[in-house]
Amino acid sequence: MTRSQAESSTDAVIIGAGAIGTAIAHELARRGVRTTSIDALPAAGYGSTSSSSAIVRFSYSTFAGVAMAWEGMHYWLDWATYVGAGDESGLARFVQSGMVLLKEPGGHHERCVPLFDQVGVPYEEWDVDELRRRMPALDPSMFGPPASLDDDAFWADPQDELPGAIWTPGAGYVNDPQLASHNLQRAAQRRGARFRFSTTVTSIETAAGRVRGVRLSDGSTIEAPVVVNVAGPHSGAVNALAGLEDTMRIGTRPLRHEVHQVPGPPGAEGVSCPVADGDTGVYLRPEVGAQLLVGSLDPACDGHEWVDDPDEFNRRVTAAQFERQVLRAARRIPALTVPNEHRGLAALYDVSDDWIPVYDRTDLDGFYVAIGTSGNQFKNAGIAGHCMAELIGAVQGGRDHDSDPLVVTGPYTGLPIDMAVFSRNRPLHPGSSFSVHG
């Protein structure tokens, strides 16, 4: 085969080279599938992945969600072996710091703790005295429910204390999500995968109800019997290129999000692990240089900032959101100083209707989707790649996944992952948190 033939046809085109897209490329390449990944941006992980807080936690609302996250953590523990040596940029690092999920009455812990028991996720229940002892930087007062800054309730003196917290020692965060994507790219390339950057997929080629390949912004085409949409916040736009807008029960939409960066509280009083705080509506994560990331848990009082066009949104941090989130964090951490300079980032989640991803085939034969990652799937990159590669192999091999859904076995834990939970045609999951918790 000549070089030009090799580049104009392949076994599978993957649209998107973020954390999930590169993991799918790696997993397909491991199975001997020739892949070509296309990304509009100049390098792997430059899309929403680059903005990820990269927290690895297990606190989801479904068995499959918790099982996937627990399985997914093992990929990070085994990262050097999983991606292998040979990335000239070094390897991303999993900081297994543990994580605190603060309890509040009716809080998210009530959904996920029974699932921890079912899946086998190790955890400790802390009462408020233990929380005070283990996390002295945190004020365990009950401030919630979250309120906006112009609501007197936000400033009211707390009358009670939180019931305690759930500690998951296996949780943590990945120090560099963009580098993790690059690691996956290099691992895939060592098995023959191809990557083309700064190139946009402009149309999906079809014939007789099957996908035939893609057309690119440089006018060229790549023929392939399999095309995978892993376009992150552009997932809806790419589905529209394939004429699939109205064929899935579960839709996806871009949602704007800000994550702010502030100096962490000083010395021994620092916050050394992620904290999910539904009582104030923020999450916290340590960052290099004694900094702290402050993200939002989307409390109801804030509303949602949906975006029509993922290429057109305000990429700058706003004073209003900075003050709101950082002041919420400062209620929980009395030693936190609120800087005048507003540092942080604005990025997009690709949110599904029930905040649970869609990992599935579509009504167009050969066209697959790994979309709707809803601000909570970076941690699952490895296992999502594995699940998608298993699904693609099964469906291309003739399995009717719609009527006989695939159950994937987690390679590290042996846990069953029922792919029906991630179907494009599922009813909205009644147990979902309908938030970034998943």
Q: Is the Cβ of residue 139 or residue 258 nearer to ligand FAD in the bound state?
A: 258
Q: How far is the CB of 267 from ligand FAD (least distance, A)?
A: 26
Q: What three-state secondary structure class fits 93?
A: coil
In the complex, the smallest distance separating the C-beta of residue 128 from ligand FAD, rounded to whole angstroms, is 26
| Contact partners, residue 1, CB within 8 Å, separation at least 6 | none
Least distance CB 354 / ligand FAD (angstroms): 15
Q: Considering the complex, what minimum distance in angstroms separates the CB of residue 129 from ligand FAD?
A: 29
The binding site for ligand FAD (CB under 6 A) comprises: 15-21, 38-41, 46-49, 51-55, 200-201, 230-234, 238, 257, 259, 347-349, 373, 375-379
Which is closer to ligand FAD, CB of 108 or CB of 139?
108
Length of the chain: 438
Query: CB-wise, 377 or 435, nearer to ligand FAD?
Result: 377
User: First and final CA of the chain: distance in angstroms?
Assistant: 46
Amino acid at 399: R
Count Cβ neighbours within 10 Å for each residue of 206-228 and write b for 16 or more, e otherwise.
beeeebbbbbbeeeeebebbbbb
Per-residue tokens: 27 = 């997993």
Calculate the CA 345 to chain-centre distance: 16
Minimum separation from the CB atom of position 234 to ligand FAD (A): 3
Task: Give the shortest CB-311-to-ligand FAD separation in angstroms.
Answer: 9
**C-alpha neighbours within 13 Å on the C-beta side of residue 269:** 13
For 184, other C-beta atoms within 10 Å of its C-beta total 33
Cβ 70 to ligand FAD, closest distance in Å? 13
Nearer to ligand FAD by Cβ, of 200 and 318: the residue is 200
Q: Where are the alpha helices (DSSP H) in 84-229?
A: 109-119, 128-134, 152-155, 177-190
Partner residues linked to 113 by β-bridges: none
Taking the least distance from each CB to ligand FAD, the nearer of 136 and 243 is 243
Cβ neighbours for 219, distance < 8 A, ≥ 6 positions apart? none
User: CA dist 233 to 227, 254, 404, Å?
Assistant: 17, 5, 29
Indicate the residue among 142 and 211 with the shorter CB distance to ligand FAD. 211
Query: Residue 159 CB, nearest distance to ligand FAD (Å)?
Result: 32
Contact 328, 280 (CB under 8 A): yes
Measure the CA–CA gap between 229 and 231, rounded to whole angstroms. 6
Q: Considering beta carbons, is residue 142 or 275 the nearer one to ligand FAD? A: 275
Structure tokens that stand for 250 in this block: 């579960």
40 vs 248 by CB, closer to ligand FAD = 40
